[in-house]
């Protein structure tokens, strides 16, 4: 694991063609370094492809950003807890022990610190050659040099400003995908990875006021497993498990809203889609009642014809468990 302050690094190119030739072994076969490298490349790239297509991009487990325990370190330092994430190429980002992230003061010594600072904390896959040993560099001249015998996989972190990684910063409203005119069954949306964050996986937004302790906002990275092309529920106009007053319902004309991150296909009568709710005298009937909202997402299709990934896991949004369909449930109490 390295920080953004480290020197130049070698990053493995994973955007090449998917290997389609598997090595075949037999007794008496002459084996070269190229053969062994191709064997590794086939297995590694196929694994990354499966990770990306089946699970998507985001955090598998852990990787929470937490403040430093010491008061004198809190204005400059946070911890990234151990965990695993997948990047846009399907590569595994593994942090096996707590990683310290230092946010250096922007002002020079003796100067007043900025009134407000904000950074995006993100991590990215990193690898470097290690364990060098002597080897013949040129078989004709018997020139001897050193070659790395292993590739160490790790993670690097970055604190990005607003003008960096612009597509990875959280927005006031969830991003609406604009790919409805694309053919997701073609090669473009499946074989080639879509890396809008340039391989970085965002973890949190860090905010600091006049040199005070760092504040951490976690509402960023997707929690996997999650498929990359499934539509999710991003917003509801009531607080899940909360309370809604009658006058608030009246101001909304009894309207409960559910927002999705991709346009939906029009309803096919009562068979699929969002159908118009039957209207009635809701005010007397809802007073002091407990309202449960249920969406059968197997029958709610997005503009691609895929069922919405509607599982409302842990009561958090966006919805989804990485599989199409499922039941979305939420509830609230109605008070006077």
pLDDT (0 to 100) of residue 106: 66
* 195 and 48 fall within a common domain: yes
Check whether 13 has a pLDDT greater than 60: no
Quote the domain boundaries for residue 286: 233-335
Same domain, 205 and 260: no
CATH number, domain of 196, equals 2.60.520
Long-range contacts of 213-216 (CB under 8 A, 24+ apart): 213/67, 213/71, 213/74, 213/75, 214/67, 214/74, 214/75, 214/76, 214/77, 214/78, 214/103, 216/65, 216/66, 216/67, 216/78
| Over residues 90-114, mean pLDDT | 84
Contact criterion met (CB below 8 Å) for 33 and 186: no
By the 8 A CB rule, do 134 and 144 touch? yes
Read off the pLDDT of residues 225-270 as tens digits, 9 standing for 90 and up.
444 578 899 999 999 999 988 888 888 887 889 999 899 999 888 8
- Is the pLDDT confidence value at 16 over 80? no
- Does 261 fall in a domain? yes
Determine what percent of the chain is predicted with pLDDT higher than 90. 43
Does 247 share its domain with 213?
Answer: no
State how far the Cα of 220 lies from the Cα of 91, in Å rounded to an integer: 19
What's the rounded mean pLDDT across residues 275-303?
Answer: 75
Average pLDDT over residues 32-38: 93
Residues 209, 242, single domain; the answer is no
pLDDT value for 314:
85
Encode pLDDT of 185-198 as tens digits: 544 557 888 888 88
For 283, the 3-state DSSP assignment is helix
pLDDT digits (tens, 9 = 90+) for 125-169: 999 999 999 887 766 667 778 889 999 999 999 999 988 988 888
Look at 19-33, 40-54, 132-146 and tell me which has the smallest mean pLDDT: 132-146
| Pair (181, 240) in one structural domain | no
Residues 241 and 319 in one domain: yes
Percent of the chain residues topping a pLDDT of 70 = 80
Tell me the pLDDT of the chain averaged across its residues.
83
Q: Are residues 204 and 248 in the same domain?
A: no
């Amino acid at each position: 694991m390295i920080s953004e302050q480290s020197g130049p690094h070698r990053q493995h190119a994973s955007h090449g063609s998917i290997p389609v030739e598997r090595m075949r072994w037999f007794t008496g076969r002459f084996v070269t370094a190229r053969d062994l490298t191709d064997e590794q490349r086939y297995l590694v790239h196929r694994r990354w492809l499966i990770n990306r297509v089946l699970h998507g991009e985001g955090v598998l487990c852990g990787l929470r950003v937490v403040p430093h325990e010491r008061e004198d370190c809190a204005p400059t330092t946070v911890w990234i807890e151990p965990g695993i994430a997948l990047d846009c190429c399907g590569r595994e980002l593994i942090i096996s022990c707590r990683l310290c992230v230092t946010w250096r003061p922007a002002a020079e010594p003796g100067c007043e610190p900025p009134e407000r600072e904000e950074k995006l904390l993100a991590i990215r896959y990193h690898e470097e050659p290690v364990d060098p040993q002597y080897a013949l560099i040129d078989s004709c001249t018997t020139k001897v040099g050193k070659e790395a015998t292993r590739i160490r996989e790790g993670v690097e972190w970055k604190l990005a400003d607003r003008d960096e990684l612009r597509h990875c910063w959280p927005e006031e409203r969830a991003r609406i995908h604009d790919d409805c005119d694309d053919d997701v069954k073609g090669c473009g949306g499946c074989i080639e990875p879509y890396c809008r964050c340039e391989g970085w996986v965002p973890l949190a937004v860090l905010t600091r006021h006049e040199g005070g302790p760092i504040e951490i906002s976690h509402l960023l990275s997707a929690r996997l497993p999650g498929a990359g092309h499934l539509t999710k529920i991003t917003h509801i106009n009531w607080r899940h498990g909360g309370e809604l007053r009658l006058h608030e319902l009246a101001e909304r004309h009894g309207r409960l809203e559910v927002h999705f991150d991709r346009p939906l296909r029009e309803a096919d009568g009562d068979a699929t889609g969002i159908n118009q709710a039957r209207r009635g005298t809701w005010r007397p009937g809802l007073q002091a009642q407990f309202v449960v909202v249920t969406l059968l997402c197997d029958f709610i299709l997005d503009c691609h014809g895929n069922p919405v990934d509607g599982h409302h896991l842990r009561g958090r949004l966006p919805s989804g468990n990485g599989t199409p369909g499922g039941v979305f449930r939420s509830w609230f109490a109605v008070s006077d």
